[in-house]
Structure 1
Amino acid sequence: MGKNNTTILIIAMVLTAAMMMEDAKSYPLCNTDTNDLQKCSPAVTGNSPPPPGPDCCAVARSANLECLCPYLSLSGIDPSKIKSVLASCGVGNPSCLS
């Protein structure tokens, strides 16, 4: 595995862990803090996730979604759920989800 792929994999694991852990240390990533991403976790997990709340939509609007593309594809989250959240928040899909 190349150095860039290893770096992306490590960051993706940190991002995924941050989304799952309430008290995880926050890291700035793509115009947002990794802990803020967990505000969208309920809307992208489970079989029938609830619609995103205002806090999640604020994160979706402020994050650099193009920058997050490599992490979204490695997160294990169903892309259709991410698209649904973005649509509900009135945010366009980044190129990796189009």
Structure 2
Amino acid sequence: MGKNNIRILMQFTALAMVLTAAMMVEKAKSIPVCNIDTNDLEKCRGAVTGNSPPPPGPDCCAVVKAANLECLCPYLSISRIDPSKIKAVLASCGAKNPSCLPRS
């Protein structure tokens, strides 16, 4: 793994930890990241978790469309979310895959 990939992985890990902590605190203060508030990510949780997640709802798609997906790349690449589930949500919402998600 190259130095840039390790740096991106470390950045994403840090963001994942911050987002996880924010979700664990009831009514956590939202943190703006890449044109969205972190609390809004909760609207997409169901669509990217579990073995057979349901399609994203309109609220999730609104978050996806508002987000700067390229800006989120460092966070997506180190998340524990299966990239195929992220891609399914993006496709369902009519959003393009950011450059960091595998093309396969």
TM (norm. structure 2) is: 0.80
Aligned to 1:32: 36
Matched residues in 2 for 1:22 and 1:53: separation? Answer: 23
Q: Which has the higher contact order (CA 8 A, sep 6+)?
A: 2
AA partner of residue 15 (structure 2): I
1:14 aligns with 2:21: no
CA separation of 1:10 and 1:89: change in aligned 2, threshold 3 A: same
- What is the number of equivalent residue pairs in this alignment? 95
> How far is 1:6 from its partner?
9.0
Q: Which runs of 5+ in 1 are unaligned?
A: none
Matched residues in 1 for 2:70 and 2:25: separation? Answer: 24
Report the RMSD for the aligned CA atoms in angstroms.
2.1
TM (norm. structure 1) is: 0.85
Q: Which runs of 5+ in 2 are unaligned?
A: 1-6
SS of the aligned residue for 1:74 comes to coil
Aligned to 1:87: 91
**Greater Rg over alpha carbons, structure:** 2
